[in-house]
Amino acid sequence: MSNLIVLFGFPGAGKTTLANAFIGQHAEYRHHDIYRYIEHYRKPDGSLIGEEFTIKAYQKMYQDLEAMTGSTLLELGTNHPGFNIQKLKELKTAWNVIIVFCILDKQECLKRTAQRERAFEEQALLRRFARNFPAEHQNLCQQLELNYYLLDMGQSVEQQVIYLETKIKK
C-alpha cells in the first residue's frame, strides 16, 4: 500500500519547504498541493473570488488524488477541516494515510507569509489564523479514529525530514 503523507498547517508554517526537501530525498514521492487548485479561484490581489468556491477546489483535488497511484505528499492548509478529515478517512482503504500537523507560532507564520512573493489577501489570512488549529483537526481525527502527528516546524528542515522518515517506516 502506498503512503499518503498529509501536511496540514497555517500559511507560512513551512509545508512547501518541507515537501520540497522530503521529495528531494525521496524521489518516489509525488508532490500534490491544494494551492494549485485554489489559485483558480483567486483574484490578482490574492483574495478568493468567494470562500464558498474553495470547497470545489478541494473536491477536484480529492477526485484527482483518488485516481493516483504511488506514494504522495499532500499539502493542505487549515480550511474545511471536517471535509478534509472525512476524505482522508475514506482514503485509508487505498492508502497508508499519515497525517502531520505542522506547528509553528502564528506570528512567525505571519512574518514568513509577508515575505512571500505570492499574494495573499490580508482578511483571508486573518480568517485562517483565527481557526483553532490544530485542536479542531485533532478532535475530528479522534472522532474518526485517525492517527496524527504533531511536527515542530521550528526545527531545521533536516530534522523535519528525519521526523517524516520515522513515520513512513512504521
Q: What is the pLDDT of residues 112-158, one digit of tens each?
A: 988 876 656 677 777 788 889 999 999 999 999 999 999 999 999 99
Which regions of 50-154 does DSSP assign to beta strands (E)? 72-75, 96-103, 148-152
pLDDT given at position 18:
99
| Domain with 141 in it | 3-168
CATH code of 114's domain = 3.40.50.300
The reported pTM is 0.91
Backbone dihedral angles phi then psi of residue 100, each to the nearest 5 degrees? -130, 125
- The structural domain count of the chain equals 1
